[in-house]
Every structure is written in C-alpha cells, then in structure tokens.
Structure 1
Amino acid sequence: MFWIEFLILLIAILIGSRMKGIGLGVMGIFGLVIFVLGFHMKPTEPPMDVMLIIIAIVTTAATLQASGGLDYLVSLAEKVIRNNPSNVTFIAPFATYILCLFAGTSHIVYSILPIISEVATKKRIRPERPLSISVIASHLALTGSPISACTAALVVLLGYPGALFDVMMISIPAGLIGTLVACFVVRKKGLELNEDPIFIEKMKDPEFARSIDFSTEGNGVKVRAGAKTAVMIFSVAILLIVIAGAFPELLPNFGPGTKNLVLKDDGTVSMVTVICLITLSASAAMMLITKTSAVAVTQVSLFGSMASATISVFGVVWMASTFMENNSVVIKESLGSVVTAYPWTFAIALFLLGIIMFSQAAAVKTMIPLGIALGLSPIVLIASFPTVNSFFVLPGYPTLLAAINFDRTGSTKIGKYVINHSFNLPGIVATVVAVAVGFLIGSIIL
C-alpha cells in the first residue's frame, strides 16, 4: 500500500510541475482527495504558516518593485558587472547572489540576465558560463536570506531561539563558497565563443553581428525618485527580522498558553507573526513615504507570482505532509537507522525531493519535520538546507528558461537528453560544496 500511495504522490507532483503556474497546487489537492477518500488517510493541518509568510514577504518585495527599489538595486549590480567585463564569470554570480540575498527572491534575476549575456558576448566569453552559475547563485542565495520564504519556513520549524541567526551564519558562507567553487568549475566550460560553430554560423548574418556589438548600457529603466528611500525601508525591515530572530527575548511575552500561529508555547510571539508584522508594515511605510500606489503594487510581476506560489505550496505541501504523517512509521523504520548512522544522507533525500517539488518552501515544509522526527540535529538540518534548490536538475524553472532565452549566442541550452543542460554542472557542484561547508561550519559554531 505504501508504494501505491508513494506512486500517486510522485505522479501528482510530476504532472503538476509540467502544468506550470498553479498546476502543482491543484494537482496536490487532487492527490490529497485520492488519499483521503480512496485510502482513508487522515489529512494533516494545511501549511498556513508558510502561506502567510509567502504572502507577507512577496507583498513587501512587490512594493519594493513598484516603488522602483528593485530597479535601483539592479542598476547597482549592472555597474559592478560592467566595470570589469573580463571577469564576468566570477563577478556576475556574486552580484546576483548578493542581490537575491537582499531581495529574498530569485525572480529579480530576470532583470540582470540580459546584462550578463551582453557583457560576456561582447568580450567573446561564452555566455553559458556566467549565466549558468548566476542562475544557480540566485537560488542558493535564498537559503540564507532572512527575507526569503524558505528560510523563514525553516526557522519556524526549527523553533529554537536564535535559529535565524544560525541559519544565516551557516548558509550564507556555505552558499558563497559553493558559488565560488562552481565559478572555477565553469570558467572553461564548453568551447570558446569564437570557436563555437553555432555562434560562428550566426555571425554570418550581418544583422545578428551588428546586434551583438550593440550596447544597451545606459538604456535601462529610469530609477524613480523614491527608490533609494524604499530600499532603506526594506533594509530596516530585514535588520529588524534578523534582530528579532537573534534576540527573541526582545519580543513581547504574553505568558504560557496554547501554541498557535501567533504565539509559541512560552507565550512569545512566533516568527511567523514577527515576519508578517514587520514586512507588511515596511510595505505600508514604502507606500506612504514614497507615494507608491497600492494599486500599482498589485500590478507588478512579483505580486502576480504570489498567487501561484501560495496555491502551489498549499496543495503540494498539504498532500505531501498527509502522506508523510500517515506513513510515518514505515518511513521512520526505512530511513531512521540509515539517517541516524549517516546524517548526511538526509541531504540526499532532501535533494531528490527538491528536484520534483519546484519550490524551496514546499520542500522545507515537507521534509524538515521528518528530519526533526528522526532526531536530526539543527546542524544536519541547516547544512542540508541548500539541497532544496535542486529543481535545476529538470530544466523547467522560469529562471533557467529565461537564461536560455537571453543568450542569443545559443551557448546556454538544454541538451539532447534534457538533463544534460547548462545548469546541472554548476548546480551540483555549488550544492555539494555548500552542504559540505555547511556541515563543517555547523560543527564549529553549534
């Protein structure tokens, strides 16, 4: 029975991931219906905490976008990349990492990918190299960002004082080192651009050749007057979240009571509440101070992505957690001894789940409770955290597809066998190194 139920889980996730958009969420609910009505499984609580976090964080990021703050951040990253074009393979991924670490979303990378491609092409550096690792860096940054939904979900599940600070202390250096190693690995990946037969053939077209050497520098979106102010407000919000996570004793305590989304067992305000209050207050401040229209916030691309992310997490996590809970005895008996003897194998299990989940927050919410139930230490859980980005293995995520489309030379591509695409080498290297470094740092500081 277990394997039939597991097969249904996989089929629902795979079909949902191919449907794109809210497909993962609605297929998750469909799978849950089969579990409840067909197999009489008792449904678990829906993942309201992660959903609230996504709504709050994405709304604030969308306000930053509507106020021009994201354009300002992208303009800073563009200057850094253009100032040293010969080292674009190393500079672009780190600029992207820092940008996404601060913004808490990888979708900001769409604005900087064409710049990376243009700078690399003009220097006749194979664009595949900086583009592939920059996309991986944009994902890896989220597993250390205090303002990302997946980090917030992990902190809530860990539940101990100072968990956010520990996640940042381990995940950020691990992510940076993983990115650096991957940069060295891809620096000579593929043929040099001038030797690539596809590029040589394209350059025979005079119109294409002229477009390659045409510069878009200085033609970017004009930054709004209140953009810098919006970034400052957003920065203060991030700082306050970090302080609240590092020093929970500063938060109000209403006395011991029933644990819920708002309060913890000891009566202190939960991180879900802290994140929602701070981020949405920052959103209100940005609207008021920079005179950004509330209607304009609902019309930007990031706000539109919130509905898809929320529905996806709602459906797939609810289905997966129901499966996990109702099969907890079998799963613990199967994995318990192996994971206890070799804790690093939990990272492998999380990596495999992340491939088909297409959502870091969903992977966290599904697997981390299992890790906690198996008695894994915070070191193992935090060090394994970067593996939730493994959805790069199947090249269907929007950031990967955007990088392929922005590379007019054709060097960034999906191979004949699908999985032999431009992003797997840097993705696997960066993830493995980040996990290894995470275990090392965690063993030192925790």
Structure 2
Amino acid sequence: MIFAQLAVVLICIFIGARMSGIGLGVMGMIGLLIMIFVFDLIPSDPPLEVMLIIMSVVTAAAALQAAGGMDYLVQVAGKILRSNPKQITFLGPLITYAFVLFAGTAHISYSIMPIIAEVAIKNRIRPERAMSMSVIGAYMAITASPVSAAAAAMLTVLGASGVKLFDILMIAIPATLIGMFVGILFVWKRGKELSEDPEFLERMKDPAFVKNLEGKDLNTVATIPPGAVKSVIIFSLAVMSVVIFGSFPQLLPEFGNKADFHPGFAVNEAGHLLMPSMIMILMLAATGLIILFADTTAGKVTKASLFSSAGQATIAVFGVVWMSSTFMDNNFAVIQQTLGDLVASYPWSFAIALFLLSMLLYSQASTAKALMPLGLSLGLPPAYLIGIFPACNGHFFIPGYPTLLMAIEFDRTGTTRIGKYVLNHSFMLPGLITTTVSILAGLLLQSILL
C-alpha cells in the first residue's frame, strides 16, 4: 500500500511541476484528497508557519519594490558591474547572491539578470558563464538568508533542539559562499568565447539580430522615487532585527507569568514568543512602515510583481507540503525502519534524499519542512542537518524553475540554453559542483563550529 501512496505523491508532484506556478499546490491538494478518501490516511497539520512567512517576507519585498528601493539597489549593482565589466563572471553571481540573501526570495534576481547579460554581451564575454552561476547563486542564497522561508523552516524543525538562527547562518553563509567561489572558478573559461562560438557567429549573420544585440542599452539611469532609500533602510532594519532576535531568543517577549496565559500558534508552552511568528510580525510591520514613510501606497504594493510571486509560492508550498507530510506521517514507522540502517551507516545518503526531493518540489522550504523532521528521527544530529542544508538546492536539475528559464531568455546570444537531451543544460554542472562543495564545506564547518 505504501508504494501505491508514494506513486500518487510522485505523480502529483510531477504533474504539478509541469504546470508551474500554483501547479504544485493544486496537484498537492488532489493528492491529499486521494490520500484521505482512497487510502484513509489522517491528514497532518498544514504548513501554516512556512506559508505565512513566505507571504510576510515577500510582501515586504514587494513594498520595497513599490517604493523604488529595488530600482535603487539595481542601479547601485549596475554601476558596480559596468565599472568592472571584465569581472562580470565573478561579480554577477555574487551580486545576485547578495540580492537574494538580503530579500529572502529568488524572484528578486529577475531585476539584476538583464544587466548581467547586457554587460557580458557588450564586452563579448560568454554570458552563459555569469548567467548560469547567477541562477545557482540565487538558489544558494535562499538557504543562507535570515529572512527566507527555508531558514525559517529549518529553525522551526531544529529550534526544539536548541538551534538558533545564528547557528544556521554561521554555517550556511560561508558554506554556500565557498561553493559559489568553486562554481565560479569552474565556469570562468567554460565554453567557447563568443568570437569562436559557431552558433553565435551564425546568428551574427542576421542584420536584425545584430541590430537587436547592439541596440539595447540598459545603461540609462532610471529616476529613483523619493522614498527609495528610506524603503531600503526600513527593510534592512527589519532583516537585522530578524537576525538579532533569531540569534538571541532571550530577547523575545515572554508571557508565561501572566495569569490569563494560554499557549497557541504564536507562543509556546513556556510562554516564549516563537521566532517564526516574530519574523511575520517584523516583516509585515516593515511593510507598513515603508507605506507610511517611503512615499508608496498599499495599492502599489499589491500590484508589484513580487506580490503575485508570493501568492504562487504560498499555494505551491501549501498543497505539496501538506500532501507530502500526510504521506510521511502516516507511514513514519515503515520509512524509519527502512531508512534507519542506511542513514546510520551512510549519513551522507540523507543529503541525496534532500537533493532528490528538492528537484521535484522546486522549494527549499518545502523540502526542509518535509524531510528534516525525518532526519532528526533517524538520529542525525541537528548540526549535521545544518551542514547538509545546501542539498535542498536541487531546483536546477530539471530545467523548469522560473529563474532558470528567465536567465535563458535574458541571454540573447543563445549560449545559456537547455540542451538537446534536456538535462544537458547550462546550469547542470555548475549546479552540481556548487551544491556538492557547499555540502562538504557545511559538514566541515559544522564539525568545527557547532
């Protein structure tokens, strides 16, 4: 029976991934209906914390976008890239990493990738090099960002074991940066130069292509709205507050001594305000402050492109995690017995399981929420799970995630592409190398620091 249930889960994930957008969420709900009415499984609790954190963080990022703060950051990044054009393969991925680390969502990378492609093309540097690692950098930054849903999911799972946000960040940030540097070195001279690339040379025979290639100029300086800098400051203060409260939980309010105290969603049995709830409060409060003091409106925030991304991500996580956790919870004993000896003998095999699931779920948060509790139950130490956290970045393997597809669109030379056999695409080797090195670095760092 467990194999039939697993088949339903995998089929729903596969179909949902092909739908893209909210596909994973709605197919997850269809799978959940089958679990309940066909297999008589008891539904687990929905992933409310992860969903609400996604909505809160991305809404704050949308407010930053609406107030012009995003344009301001892109303008600063553009100046750095254009003043160092020969270093685009190095700087492009690192700036993308920094953007996503700051905002907690990979969708923010859409604003910087056109500039990376343009600078590479103008200087006749193969865009595939910078573009492929920029996409991988966006994924890696999610598992290192203090305000990402993935980090919050890890904190939710490991918090009861005494893990603090700082513990996750001090392993995840340097580990992913080490992986990034190795990945950048790998792509530094990857592929033929544009002047030698046969496909590019063939395209250059078309006058319309040449005109389009040379005609586009993104170097024009956009007018920055008056509240842009204020919005960046407010958002930065919110991110810093998340790091401080997450690293020093003793600073969080306590309510256990109040006569009418009752534990609930936001406060635990000991009366401590839970960190996931604090993230929601801080980020939505930052949204309000941006609206009040950064010359924007609530209407503009809801019309920002990032706001619609929040809705898609929330529905996707809602359905697929609820279905997956229902399957895991109802078959926990069998899964634990089957995987227990394997993981005990080969702990690294759990990293492979994380990577494989993330390939299908297209979500680091969903992967962490679904599998990290199983890792704890199998006896893996919390520090070890933090070390292999970058394994949740398998999005690139099957080329269907929006950031990957947009990178291909932005590269007008055609060097960034999906290959004839689908899996032989521009992101495969950089992604595998960066992820593997990040995991190895994470394991080394956790053995030293935790």
TM-score range, shorter chain: over 0.9
Match of 2:292 in 1: 288
Note if 1:142 corresponds to 2:142. Answer: yes
Read off the aligned partner of 1:209 and give its amino acid letter.
V
8 Å Cα contact 1:101-1:145 kept in structure 2: yes
Match of 1:306 in 2: 310
8 Å Cα contact 1:125-1:193 kept in structure 2: yes
Read off the aligned partner of 1:416 and give its amino acid letter.
K
Quick one: distance in 1 between partners of 2:223 and 2:9? 47
Match of 1:51 in 2: 51
Read off the aligned partner of 1:222 and give its amino acid letter.
T
Quick one: distance in 2 between partners of 1:29 and 1:412? 35
Match of 2:88 in 1: 88
Structure 1 residue 220: Cα displacement? 4.8
Note if 1:342 corresponds to 2:346. Answer: yes
Q: Which one of the candidate residues 252, 272, 285 is aligned to 1:268?
A: 272
Match of 2:256 in 1: 255
8 Å Cα contact 2:163-2:382 kept in structure 1: no
Structure 1 residue 369: Cα displacement? 1.3
Q: Which one of the candidate residues 392, 412, 431 is aligned to 1:388?
A: 392
Match of 1:75 in 2: 75
8 Å Cα contact 1:344-1:380 kept in structure 2: no
The 5 A counterparts of 1:308-323 are 308-323=312-327
Q: Deviations over 1:257-315 (max 9, x none)?
A: 76542112321100121101111111111100012110110001111111111111111
Structure 1 residue 341: Cα displacement? 2.4
8 Å Cα contact 2:2-2:331 kept in structure 1: yes
Q: Deviations over 1:126-169 (max 9, x none)?
A: 11110000110011111111111111111121114552101110
Could you list the runs of 4 or more consecutive aligned residues of structure 1 that deviate by over 6 angstroms after TM superposition?
none
The percentage of aligned residue pairs carrying the same residue is: 51
Structure 1 residue 342: Cα displacement? 2.2
The 5 A counterparts of 1:345-364 are 345-364=349-368
8 Å Cα contact 1:162-1:247 kept in structure 2: no
Q: Where do 5+ consecutive residues of structure 2 fail to align?
A: none
Q: Where do 5+ consecutive residues of structure 1 fail to align?
A: none
8 Å Cα contact 2:390-2:439 kept in structure 1: yes
Structure 1 residue 211: Cα displacement? 3.3
Read off the aligned partner of 2:443 and give its amino acid letter.
F
Match of 1:102 in 2: 102
Match of 1:397 in 2: 401
Note if 1:327 corresponds to 2:331. Answer: yes
Quick one: distance in 1 between partners of 2:157 and 2:224? 38
- TM-score by structure 1 length? 0.97
8 Å Cα contact 1:351-1:388 kept in structure 2: yes
Note if 1:166 corresponds to 2:167. Answer: yes
- Does 203-212 or 250-259 show the bigger shift? 250-259
Q: Deviations over 1:11-51 (max 9, x none)?
A: 00000111111111111010011111101111111111111
Structure 1 residue 218: Cα displacement? 3.2
Structure 1 residue 330: Cα displacement? 1.1
1:332 is paired with a residue of what secondary structure? helix
Read off the aligned partner of 2:358 and give its amino acid letter.
G
Read off the aligned partner of 1:302 and give its amino acid letter.
L
C-alpha distance 217-32 of structure 1, shift in aligned 2 (>3 A): closer
Quick one: distance in 1 between partners of 2:96 and 2:284? 25
Quick one: distance in 1 between partners of 2:153 and 2:78? 31
Match of 2:114 in 1: 114
Structure 1 residue 354: Cα displacement? 0.3
Match of 1:199 in 2: 200
Q: Deviations over 1:368-414 (max 9, x none)?
A: 11112222112221112112120110000011111111111110110
Read off the aligned partner of 1:432 and give its amino acid letter.
T
- Does 219-228 or 393-402 show the bigger shift? 219-228
Structure 1 residue 217: Cα displacement? 4.3
Structure 1 residue 98: Cα displacement? 0.8
Structure 1 residue 82: Cα displacement? 1.1
Quick one: distance in 2 between partners of 1:54 and 1:217? 31
Read off the aligned partner of 1:64 and give its amino acid letter.
L
Quick one: distance in 2 between partners of 1:222 and 1:15? 43
- Does 336-345 or 7-16 show the bigger shift? 336-345
8 Å Cα contact 2:164-2:248 kept in structure 1: no
8 Å Cα contact 2:226-2:295 kept in structure 1: no
8 Å Cα contact 1:72-1:227 kept in structure 2: yes
Quick one: distance in 1 between partners of 2:390 and 2:262? 33
Match of 2:377 in 1: 373
Match of 1:441 in 2: 445
8 Å Cα contact 1:162-1:245 kept in structure 2: no
2:12 is paired with a residue of what secondary structure? helix
Q: CA RMSD in A?
A: 1.4
Match of 1:190 in 2: 191
1:264 is paired with a residue of what secondary structure? coil
Quick one: distance in 1 between partners of 2:432 and 2:91? 20
Match of 2:126 in 1: 126
The 5 A counterparts of 1:224-243 are 224-243=225-244
8 Å Cα contact 1:93-1:133 kept in structure 2: yes
Quick one: distance in 2 between partners of 1:412 and 1:351? 23
C-alpha distance 303-297 of structure 1, shift in aligned 2 (>3 A): same
Quick one: distance in 2 between partners of 1:220 and 1:259? 52
8 Å Cα contact 1:77-1:96 kept in structure 2: no
Q: Which one of the candidate residues 423, 426, 429 is aligned to 2:427?
A: 423
